[in-house]
Amino acid sequence: MAALTINEAAETTGWSARMLRYIEREGLIEPARSDAGYRLYGPGELQRLRTLRELLAEHDISLGDVGFALRLRSDAGLRDAVEGWLAAEPRRPAGVAADDDWLRFEQLKHERLLGRSEPAAA
Amino acid sequence: MAALTINEAAETTGWSARMLRYIEREGLIEPARSDAGYRLYGPGELQRLRTLRELLAEHDISLGDVGFALRLRSDAGLRDAVEGWLAAEPRRPAGVAADDDWLRFEQLKHERLLGRSEPAAA
DNA sequence: CCAACCTTACCAAGGTCGTGTCAAGGTTTC
DNA sequence: GAAACCTTGACACGACCTTGGTAAGGTTGG
């Protein structure tokens, strides 16, 4: 059960060799390399390649989407910025405060979020 | 300071009217409508439109990316699926277990995650 | 009622995505 | 050392994204 080279991996996962390189460039799956630079796909990578296909098909999303999710998860600044923007839905509680105050409130909420980090895999 | 119509909103936010409609179709900002169907942008929407521009520019992401993040946040099934896939990095702790066991472990971790839901805005 | 708005629905140009294929060259294996 | 792999880089093409424009028609306000 040694590692497979790119064409063998393509064979067993249903991706083309071309797409395997593309997926790697997206940062999604980066196989080990042999001394000579050959890509070596282990069982874990092969499994992930298969589940990746299911993920895309079942939820109708793109490789770029998954790549963006990866960026979201590894770039805390990006995650907080996007999360902050999405959280700021213009749902002013009717009579609560002037808009400037509302905005300040959102900003504070955002700052508080900044403390959060990776759950550091148990 | 009533609500602005689309061209006025375009004027003050820097987006084109065309893009305002596009942003709406992406589900990012959905202004209220007048009786006759005219879009009405309130202060909250105008502010969000401005910060949206900054968000895109500062992090070099696309409207589609933000749309996907929105999908991630409102579709728990999608979020869990993507999160589960990303969490399953093939980082087998060297001598811990066979790959099948590792896979099962990941699956369990994923199931446990399923309980989580929206923090229900304090 | 007319000008100046708004609406939706199309057509279009330029860019990116997903994918294949080919070329030039290194590696492995027999 | 030749066949069968692998590597990166490039060209290519259809599909989709982003954006603008324009047309046909409803709304608003003097």
Per-residue pLDDT reduced to its tens digit, A32-83: 999 999 999 999 999 999 999 999 999 999 999 999 999 999 999 999 999 9
- Nearest neighbour of B90 by CB, restricted to A48, A72, A121: A48
pLDDT recorded at residue A1: 56
In sequence order, which residues have a C-beta less than 8 Å from that of residue B23 and are 6 or more positions away?
A: B15, B29, B49, B52, B63
pLDDT digits (tens, 9 = 90+) for B63-115: 999 999 999 999 999 999 999 999 987 654 443 444 444 444 445 444 444 33
- Nearest neighbour of A68 by CB, restricted to B43, B68, B87: B68
In a domain, B45, yes or no: yes
Structural domain span for residue A37: 6-61
Q: How far apart are CA A50 and CA A52, in angstroms?
A: 5
pTM over 0.85: no
* Model confidence band, residue A89 (pLDDT cutoffs 50, 70, 90): confident
In the predicted model, is pLDDT for residue A102 greater than 60? no
Say how many domains are in chain B. 2
Footprint of strand C on the protein (CB under 7 A): A 16, 18-19, 22, 26, 34-38, 62-64; B 5-8, 17, 21, 37-39
Whether A48 and A19 share a structural domain: yes
In a domain, A121, yes or no: no
Interface contact flag, A78 B59, Cβ < 8 Å: yes
Whether B58 and B79 share a structural domain: no
In a domain, A23, yes or no: yes
Q: Are B55 and B61 in contact (CB under 8 A)?
A: yes
Look up the CATH number of the domain holding residue B32.
Answer: 1.10.1660.10
Q: How far apart are CA B80 and CA B111, in angstroms?
A: 9
Whether B15 and B49 share a structural domain: yes
pLDDT recorded at residue A91: 55
**Angle ∠(B67,A48,B115) on CA atoms, nearest 5:** 60
* Model confidence band, residue B28 (pLDDT cutoffs 50, 70, 90): very high
Interface contact flag, B65 A61, Cβ < 8 Å: no
SS3 category, A41: strand
